[in-house]
């Protein structure tokens, strides 16, 4: 339901010296400009006025933003509108509100940016809730804002594309495998329906004294077969996840076929939850723990 997606920020400039593929600016000194200042200023404009994309029928407004050291973090409200509907109390099964086509269904989402000194790579953590997030919006709108100010384009690939992070992920030992939205058998589905089960999750744990190996092994083709374990498990689960441990804390990573690992689950093991949503202070603490670990791997 809730996750943090990790990305990097880079700025390429053909006018810089060196091989073409290595002409990246130190982000705190882009033609004498500091990217962190631009990020903070851009988010402040979204705090003063809601962004209303009338074409996609989406709204975004920052409700809090703080700049501390080499980081900018805070919360925004993301909404969608355009279709009339109803709000129903799931317990009573009764309608509580008629939603008009020009009313927006708002979700609170956390964000965090870190631009280390003298680093050519920044790190971004964006909160996704119920599959809804703001990565595309930020990359497009902030990219246009930055390009207008500086005349350069911002790159925002998944953090897992970084060689150092990819190596770390590939070598991470898998403690358990979680199969989200698990496909129940016909008999199991009937029982689940009678119990009122919303979704099923299956947890796989290794036998005592054994293990599942690392993430790279799970994504490689199995000997004697033309598919990986992740591909096989995806036949019975819409969301295959691996639990790894680093920095003294567990991390739940989504393993989607053919995609870099970008999403880190937010759950009760790492973040205090209230009414199905993460506690703001607890989520910020966890995000900063992740940020510190990621920055150490990519900052150069």
Domain borders along the chain are: 2-158, 164-261
pLDDT value at residue 42 = 97
What's the pLDDT score for residue 215? Answer: 82
35-39, 130-134, 186-190: lowest mean pLDDT where? 186-190
Which whole number is the average pLDDT over 118-135? 93
Q: What is the pLDDT of residue 245?
A: 80
DSSP-derived secondary structure for 62-105: EEEEEEETTEEEEEEEEEE-S--EEEEETTTTEEEEEEPTT--E
**19-37 pLDDT tens trace:** 988 899 999 999 999 999 9
Q: In whole numbers, what is the pLDDT of the chain averaged over residues?
A: 86
> What are 193-235's pLDDT values in tens digits?
555 555 567 888 888 888 888 888 888 888 777 888 888 888 8
Q: Give the tens place of pLDDT for each residue, 60-106.
A: 999 999 999 999 999 999 999 988 888 888 788 888 888 888 888 89
Q: Which residue has the higher pLDDT, 249 or 149?
A: 149
d(CA 270, CA 287): 10
- Is the pLDDT score of 181 beyond 70? yes
Q: Which whole-number Å values give the CA distances from 234 to 78, 179, 183, 237, 240, in the listed order?
A: 30, 8, 10, 5, 6
| 49 pLDDT tier (thresholds 50, 70, 90) | very high
- The neighbouring-strand residues paired with 158 are 7
Q: Specify whether the CB–CB gap between 219 and 255 falls below 8 A.
A: yes
pLDDT at 44: 97
Query: 3-class SS at 180?
Result: strand
Average pLDDT over residues 172-181: 84
């Amino acid at each position: 339901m809730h996750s943090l997606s990790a990305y990097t920020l880079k700025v390429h400039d053909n006018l810089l010296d060196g091989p073409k593929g290595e002409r990246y600016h130190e982000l705190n000194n882009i033609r004498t400009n500091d990217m962190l200042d631009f990020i903070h200023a851009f988010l402040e404009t979204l705090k003063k006025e809601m962004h209303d994309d009338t074409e996609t029928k989406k709204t975004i407004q920052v409700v809090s933003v703080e700049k501390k050291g080499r980081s900018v973090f805070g919360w925004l409200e993301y909404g969608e509108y355009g279709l009339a509907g109803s709000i129903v109390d799931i317990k009573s099964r009764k309608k509580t509100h008629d939603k008009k086509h020009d009313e927006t269904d708002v979700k609170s989402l956390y964000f965090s940016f870190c631009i280390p000194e003298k680093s050519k790579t920044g790190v971004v953590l964006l909160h996704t809730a119920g599959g809804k997030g703001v990565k595309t919006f930020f990359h497009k709108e902030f990219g246009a804002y930055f390009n207008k100010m500086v005349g350069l384009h911002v790159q925002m690939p998944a953090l897992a594309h970084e060689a150092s992070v990819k190596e770390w992920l590939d070598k991470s030992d898998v403690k358990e495998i979680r199969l989200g939205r698990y496909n129940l058998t016909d008999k199991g589905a009937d029982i689940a329906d009678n119990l009122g089960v919303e979704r099923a999750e299956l947890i796989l744990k290794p036998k005592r004294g054994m293990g599942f190996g690392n993430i790279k092994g799970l994504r490689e083709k199995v000997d004697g077969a033309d598919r990986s374990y992740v591909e096989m498990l995806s036949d019975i689960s819409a969301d295959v996840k691996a639990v790894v441990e680093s920095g003294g804390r567990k991390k739940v990573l989504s393993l989607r076929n053919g995609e870099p690992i970008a999403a880190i689950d937010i759950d009760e093991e790492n973040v205090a939850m209230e009414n199905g949503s993460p506690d703001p202070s607890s989520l910020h603490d966890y995000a900063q723990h992740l940020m510190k670990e990621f920055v150490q791997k990519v900052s150069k």
